[in-house]
């Protein structure tokens, strides 16, 4: 039960709300300008409670103890409203878990990252929340196969964030090498996600490299094209030999991939060029044409 010594302060403030400001000035002179003071309810629960839900919370454990409870937020748009909720996230988690807490905000966009880095000054002296912001510049460019194999997920993020930059081809190559150390279905899932999110040109480069390297991790089209080519090649291979049939099937699959890239870029393919591509059985030559197709201005540029 509150003591009288406790209550007298509140009673006086109740009688004269401006007293609260007078007391505050004794310890913190720099308070905002105001015109009047009003008593509000001491209950801090909202009449219509707001649900505070972070994108993810990760506990970093040391034995049975939580060394750090980390709030992870992915922010792609303006952060204005989140500046009011992020401190609430930290306070609620800190009070519930009774351990150190931190806020990590992942911003794929550099402009959003700049907004998120602005400290949140809550008004109480010294109470400033500065989000820990991870923007594009903080995501490493991973081109070393050994480094990629050690952290496949980070390598996938590197491909996602830097897939439009000059180092994209090296990043993709390192990622494919790293996929040798992962589950096939998991790797295929990463590829499908990248193809869905990367800009068109970067996606075409990724598809071209998948076909060129003859990986098992291919998009739906390449899986179908390879299956069709292999089936046809195996059928003919029964007559001409298994090795020859497999090579023919691979060549046809790569030729179909090349035509798909040209079609997706809106490049016109004449009957003559179509026949030349389909009739080519040299995998090395098809690989060269496939790489050129990503940036070629016309179908004729493939053969220059």
Q: Is residue 104 part of a domain?
A: yes
pTM of this structure:
0.59
- Asked, for residue 224, whether it belongs to a domain, the answer is no
| C-alpha to C-alpha distance for 158 and 300, rounded to whole angstroms | 34
Boundaries of domain holding 3: 1-42
Confidence at residue 119, expressed as pLDDT on a 0 to 100 scale: 94
d(C-alpha 208, C-alpha 293), whole Å: 9
Phi-psi region of 276 (alpha: psi -120 to 50; beta: other; left: phi over 0): alpha
Return the closest-CA partner of residue 247 out of 260, 239, 263, 236.
236
Running DSSP on this structure, what letter comes out for residue 165? S
Cα separation values, 213 from 13, 37, 264, Å: 76, 72, 20
Flag whether 280 is in a domain: yes
Tell which of 137, 164, 199 closes a domain.
Answer: 137
**Residue from 220, 154, 225, 156 nearest 187 by CA:** 156
The number of distinct structural domains making up the chain is 4
Full DSSP string of 96-114:
HH-S-EEEEEE-SSHHHHH
Q: Residue 226's pLDDT is what?
A: 55
Same domain, residue pair 299 and 246: yes
Write down which residue in 185, 218, 251 finishes a domain.
Answer: 218
CA atoms of 65 and 60, how far apart (whole Å): 9
pLDDT reported for residue 238: 58
Residues 123 and 146 in one domain: no
Q: Rounded to an integer, what distance in angstroms lies between the CA atom of residue 290 and that of residue 287?
A: 5
From CA 300, how far away is CA 284, in angstroms rounded? Answer: 18
Domain boundary (137, 168, 201) is at: 137
Task: Give the pair of three-digit tokens for residue 129.
Answer: 């929340």
Instruction: Render each residue's pLDDT in the chain as its tens digit; 304 residues.
Output: 555 566 666 666 777 777 777 767 777 787 778 777 777 665 544 545 556 678 888 888 888 888 888 888 888 888 888 999 999 999 988 988 888 888 888 888 889 999 999 999 998 888 999 998 888 888 889 999 888 888 888 888 899 889 888 888 899 989 988 887 777 777 888 888 888 888 888 888 888 887 765 444 444 444 544 555 556 556 555 555 555 666 677 778 788 878 888 877 788 888 888 888 888 888 888 888 887 887 788 888 888 7
- Do 130 and 149 reside in the same domain of the chain? no
Q: Is residue 63 part of a domain?
A: yes
Q: Is residue 26 part of a domain?
A: yes
* 31 belongs to a structural domain: yes
Q: Coil, strand or helix: which one is 73?
A: strand
Flag whether 154 is in a domain: yes
Predicted local confidence at residue 4, as pLDDT: 59
Burial (Cβ within 10 Å: 0-12, 13-18, ≥19) of residue 21: middle
Same domain, 155 and 131: no
Q: What confidence score (pLDDT) does residue 245 get?
A: 60
Residue 48 lies in a domain: no
Q: Are residues 155 and 129 in the same domain?
A: no
């Amino acid at each position: 039960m509150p003591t009288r010594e406790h209550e007298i302060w509140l009673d006086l403030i109740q009688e004269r709300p401006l007293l609260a400001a007078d007391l505050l000035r004794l310890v913190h002179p720099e308070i905002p300008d105001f015109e009047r003071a009003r008593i509000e309810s001491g209950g801090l629960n909202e009449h219509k409670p707001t649900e505070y839900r972070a994108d993810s919370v990760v506990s970093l454990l040391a034995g049975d103890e939580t060394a750090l409870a980390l709030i992870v937020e992915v922010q792609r748009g303006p952060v204005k409203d989140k500046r009011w909720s992020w401190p609430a996230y930290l306070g609620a988690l800190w009070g519930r878990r009774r351990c150190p807490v931190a806020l990590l905000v992942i911003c794929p966009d550099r402009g959003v990252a700049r907004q998120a880095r602005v400290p949140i000054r809550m008004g109480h002296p010294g109470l400033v929340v500065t989000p820990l912001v991870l923007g594009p510049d903080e995501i490493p460019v991973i081109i070393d196969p050994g480094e990629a194999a050690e952290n496949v997920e980070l390598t996938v993020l590197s491909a996602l964030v830097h897939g439009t930059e000059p180092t994209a081809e090296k990043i993709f190559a390192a990622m494919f090498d790293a996929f040798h150390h992962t589950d096939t279905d998991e790797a295929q899932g990463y590829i499908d996600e990248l193809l869905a999110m990367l800009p068109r040109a970067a996606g075409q480069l990724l598809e071209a490299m998948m076909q060129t390297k003859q990986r098992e991790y291919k998009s739906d089209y390449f899986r179908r094209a390879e299956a069709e080519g292999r089936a046809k090649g195996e059928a003919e291979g029964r007559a001409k030999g298994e090795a020859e049939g497999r090579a023919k099937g691979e060549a046809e699959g790569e030729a179909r991939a090349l035509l798909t890239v040209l079609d997706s870029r809106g490049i016109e393919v004449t009957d003559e060029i179509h026949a030349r591509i389909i009739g080519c059985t040299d995998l090395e030559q098809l690989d060269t044409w496939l790489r050129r197709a990503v940036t070629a201005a016309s179908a004729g540029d493939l053969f220059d």
